[in-house]
Amino acid sequence: MADINSKFDIGVTTGPIRGSRKVHIGAKSGSGIQVAMREIDLEGGEPSVRVYDTSGPYTDANATIDIRAGLEQKRREWILARGDVEEYDAREVKPEDNGQLGPDRSGGVPAFPNVHKRVLRAKPGANVSQMHYARQGIITPEMEYVAERENLGREYIRREIEGNSWGAEIPEYVTPEFVRDELARGRAIIPNNINHPESEPMAIGRNFLVKINANIGNSAVASDVAAEVDKMVWSIRWGADTVMDLSTGRNIHDTREWIIRNSPVPIGTVPIYQALEKVGGVAEDLTWEIFRDTLIEQAEQGVDYFTIHAGVRLPYVPMAAKRVTGIVSRGGSIMAKWCLAHHKESFLYEHFDDITEIMKAYDIAYSLGDGLRPGSIADANDEAQFAELYTLGELTHRAWKSDVQVMIEGPGHVPMHKIKENMTKQLEVCGEAPFYTLGPLVTDIAPGYDHITSGIGAAQIGWYGTAMLCYVTPKEHLGLPDRDDVKVGVVTYKLAAHAADLAKGHPAAQVRDDALSKARFEFRWRDQFNLSLDPDTAEEFHDQTLPAEGAKTAHFCSMCGPKFCSMKISQEVRDFASKQNQSADGFLESEKWGADTAEASRKAAEQGMREMSELYKAKGDKLYLPEEETE
2, 61, 445, 584: which one binds its own copies (CB under 8 A): 445
Residue 24 or residue 603: which is nearer to its own copies going by CB?
603
**From CA 201, how far away is CA 213, in angstroms rounded?**
15
> Amino acid letter at 273?
Y
326, 354, 382, 483: which one binds its own copies (CB under 8 A): 326
**Dihedral over Cα of 504, 507, 511, 512: its sign:** negative
> Amino acid letter at 140?
T
48, 73, 100, 376: which one binds its own copies (CB under 8 A): 376
Q: Looking only at Cα atoms, what is the longest distance across the chain?
A: 94
Q: Tell whether residue 354 is a contact of its own copies (CB under 8 A).
A: no
User: Buried b / exposed e across 223-251, counting CB within 10 Å, b at 16+?
Assistant: bbbbbbbbbbbbbbbbbbbbbbbbbbbbb
Helix (H) / strand (E) containing 121: strand 118-122
> Amino acid letter at 359?
M
Query: At its nearest, how many Å lie between its own copies and the CB of residue 90?
Result: 27
Among positions 20-79, residues that touch its own copies (CB under 8 A) are none
Residue 93 or residue 161: which is nearer to its own copies going by CB?
161
CB 467 within 8 A of CB 430: no
Cross-strand bridge partners of residue 38: 22, 51
409 in a known ligand binding site = yes
Q: Tell whether residue 618 is a contact of its own copies (CB under 8 A).
A: no
Closest CA to 272 of 250, 260, 290, 258: 290
Rg (CA), the chain: 27
457 in a known ligand binding site = no
Cross-strand bridge partners of residue 204: 189
Query: At its nearest, how many Å lie between its own copies and the CB of residue 413?
Result: 8
Among positions 377-436, residues that touch its own copies (CB under 8 A) are 377-378, 383-384, 386-387, 390-391, 393-394, 396-398, 400-401, 413, 415-417, 429-431
Among positions 536-565, residues that touch its own copies (CB under 8 A) are 537-538, 540-542, 544-546, 556-565
Q: 394: helix, coil or strand?
A: helix
Q: Tell whether residue 594 is a contact of its own copies (CB under 8 A).
A: yes
Residue 199 or residue 298: which is nearer to its own copies going by CB?
298
Q: Tell whether residue 495 is a contact of its own copies (CB under 8 A).
A: yes
Residue 159, sorted as left (phi over 0), alpha (psi -120 to 50) or beta, turns out to be beta
By 3-state DSSP, what share of the chain in percent is helix, strand and coil, each rounded to 5? 45, 10, 45
Among positions 127-166, residues that touch its own copies (CB under 8 A) are 135-139, 163-164
93, 111, 290, 446: which one binds its own copies (CB under 8 A): 446
Closest CA to 194 of 136, 138, 116, 251: 116
52 in a known ligand binding site = no
Piece of the chain touching its own copies by CB under 8 A; list 17-25, 104-112, 151-159, 514-522: 514-522
123, 222, 287, 614: which one binds its own copies (CB under 8 A): 222
**From CA 591, how far away is CA 540, in angstroms rounded?**
42
41, 77, 596, 614: which one binds its own copies (CB under 8 A): 596
371 in a known ligand binding site = yes
Q: Tell whether residue 477 is a contact of its own copies (CB under 8 A).
A: yes
Among positions 175-194, residues that touch its own copies (CB under 8 A) are 177, 180-181, 184-185
Query: At its nearest, how many Å lie between its own copies and the CB of residue 381?
Result: 10
**From CA 593, how far away is CA 320, in angstroms rounded?**
64
Piece of the chain touching its own copies by CB under 8 A; list 113-121, 191-199, 217-225, 297-305: 217-225
Q: 24: helix, coil or strand?
A: strand
Indicate the annotated binding residues.
Answer: 215, 244, 273, 309, 329-331, 370-373, 409, 413, 436, 477, 557, 560, 565
Residue ranges for the binding site for substrate? 215, 244, 273, 309, 329-331, 370-373, 409, 436
